[in-house]
Every structure is written in C-alpha cells, then in structure tokens.
Amino acid sequence: MNILVTGASGFLGFEIAKALKDEGHVVFNFSRNASNELTELGISTRKGNLDNYDDVYRALEGIDAVFHVGGKVAMWGKWEDFYNTNVIGAKNIIRAMKERNIVKLVFTSTPSVAYSKESIEGKDESHGHAKEFLSLYAKSKAMAESLILEASKDGLQTCALRPHLIFGKRDKNIIPRLIEARKQNKLKIIGDGKNMVDIIHVSNAVYAHLLAFKALSADSPVNGSAYFIGQERPVPLWDFINDILAIKEQQPVTKKVPLKLAYTIGAVIELFLKVFRIYNVHPPMTRFVALQMGTSHYFSHAKAVNDFNYRQITSIEQALADLK
C-alpha cells in the first residue's frame, strides 16, 4: 500500500514510517521540512502544513491509507496555533481523504484528552474526555480525536491511539529535558513522589499502531474507537525518572515540592506569560505540568488487547536496558 505518515520526521512518526517501510509498504512523509534520516530510508517527503487544505490534498495523491501522527505538541502557546494545526489539520485530513476516496485513518491521540485535575487510576476508555482542560494541547487533541472518530460514521474507517509518555533512544523531548533540568539542578519531585503513571517504549507504541491498522475495517470494533496504550504495568513516576537519570549518569532527584505549591507557581507563570503575551517559550512550570508530575494517571489497556490483540514486545526492563 501507499501510506502517508504525517509528522514522520518526529520521534514516533519516524519509527512508524520505518516499520511500515520494513513491512513492504511505500511510505511518504508529510511535514514542513524534509528529513535526511527519512531520505536515507527511501521515504520521500511531501512538504506542507496541516492547516493548509491544498497542501494536504496534494500530499494525499495516490495514497491508500493515512497515519496522522503529526501535530503541535507543547505545554504552552497560543490557542490559535494549537487549533490551526491540530483541529483544522484533522478537518483537512478528513476532507481530503473523502475527496481522494481514501478510507483508512489511524490517529495518534494522547491520554491527556481524558485528564483534568484529579488522579486517574485504571480507568478505561468509557471515562471519556475531560470536562475542563488545563492544557491547550490536550483540548485541541480532544477536539481532533472527536472529529476523526465521528468520521467513521461518514464513510471513513478510523481509530485513535493514546500512547502515554513515549520514550526510547531517539526521544528528543522528554528525556533530554529531564537531563538538562537535572544538570541545572532545577528538577524536583512534585508531591510525595509515589504517584503511578503509564509509560510506553516507542517500539510498543509503533506495534500498537500497526496492529490497530491491520484490524481496522468497516465492521471491526476498532472502527470509530479510541484506545489507551501503555506498558504491562504502571510505574512510580519518580522512580522511573531516577532510573533514566541513573542510566544517563546523573544524580537522582530527592528534593520535593508540595503539589499545591507547584500548581500555584505554574498558575503565576501562566498569568505572567499571558499578560505579557509571551508564547514562544517552554515555561519551567504550568498547572498542567504540575498535575501531570504530581498525580497518578494510568489506564486499563484491556480494550486494545480485546479488539486488536495488543501486547508488549519490549518490557519495561528491556526498554530501560535499551536506553543504555
């Protein structure tokens, strides 16, 4: 099949594109810029922006299926930027697929669509979207997910996967930021340090996407469904962070900050940035980040197991060893 992967120059998108290529598909990337890594794999790039319909329509020429992985990911920014890339982008993908008579669409969502302020412990997909969002990223992804799953009622075959805290060797986001924060002595445990979270090695996230894609059909339970995806068990977040720090030869984090204090600091920083219209930054703390780092959020993966036989091909122990 000819398959388009949006955002294949990113961490997860690259690994999905590579896996599809290894399975014999002809794979194309859609992003603003080409990638030498992808070119070396024989994956060409069709350049464009998700919020530009003409770009999306051109990119889908001759395509049989789409993995929509790309989008704007950030803990702070302008709502217009999140909305245009993630929501308008989803609308453009759906519209162009219909006009091109392409039916299969696998969307990479996020568990953050279900997270508001309280801990989530073992909930399944019936938990639904959050009623209040502290993250514009999460809000825009929830809107995009709804649009894409609704499209399954209008001729498309769609599903949404929600991998949680993806990590691996090529990660250029989570792990590098943790290391840099630790080197600058800016990393502190938020809360009591006992909060449990889902994590997922990138190999398992890729495998879940491929399994869902193969199971996706008009009469499959996968069609129109969302799925939480994670490892075989949740982990204590700060133990996991310290495991990564140890692998990267950094000292463990031991100092703690009360969750309420971190939340208040995040609120003050957000207010300052909003008042002075500062958006193109990575703030040291936000309300959402404080809650994500200080509360539990892990989910049931039974639906993915039942609907498309999801399982882990890389254990937590193997994944940590791989980081070495």
pLDDT at residue 252, rounded to an integer? 97
pLDDT bracket for residue 172 (50, 70, 90): confident
In this structure, how many other beta carbons lie within 10 angstroms of the beta carbon of residue 92?
22
In three-state secondary structure terms, 217 is coil
Point out the residues that are catalytic: 137
Contact 141, 148 (CB under 8 A): no
pLDDT bracket for residue 141 (50, 70, 90): very high
Q: Which amino acid belongs to residue 272?
A: F
- Distance separating alpha carbons of residues 49 and 33, to the nearest angstrom: 10
pLDDT at residue 62, rounded to an integer? 98
pLDDT bracket for residue 173 (50, 70, 90): confident
Q: Where are the domains of the chain?
A: 2-166+200-230+299-312
pLDDT digits (tens, 9 = 90+) for 292-312: 999 999 999 999 999 999 999
pLDDT at residue 315, rounded to an integer? 98
pLDDT digits (tens, 9 = 90+) for 241-279: 999 999 999 999 999 999 999 999 999 999 999 999 999
Query: CB-based burial of residue 156 (10 Å sphere; 0-12 exposed, 13-18 middle, 19+ buried)?
Result: buried
- Over the chain, what is the mean pLDDT? 97
Q: How many residues does the chain have?
A: 324
pLDDT bracket for residue 128 (50, 70, 90): very high
Does residue 40 carry a pLDDT above 90?
yes
Residue of 298, 162, 176, 288 lying closest to 237 (CA atoms): 298
What mean pLDDT is predicted for residues 152-178?
94
Instruction: Supply the CATH classification number for the domain 2-166+200-230+299-312.
Output: 3.40.50.720
pLDDT digits (tens, 9 = 90+) for 64-109: 999 999 999 999 999 999 999 999 999 999 999 999 999 999 999 9
In this structure, how many other beta carbons lie within 10 angstroms of the beta carbon of residue 102?
20
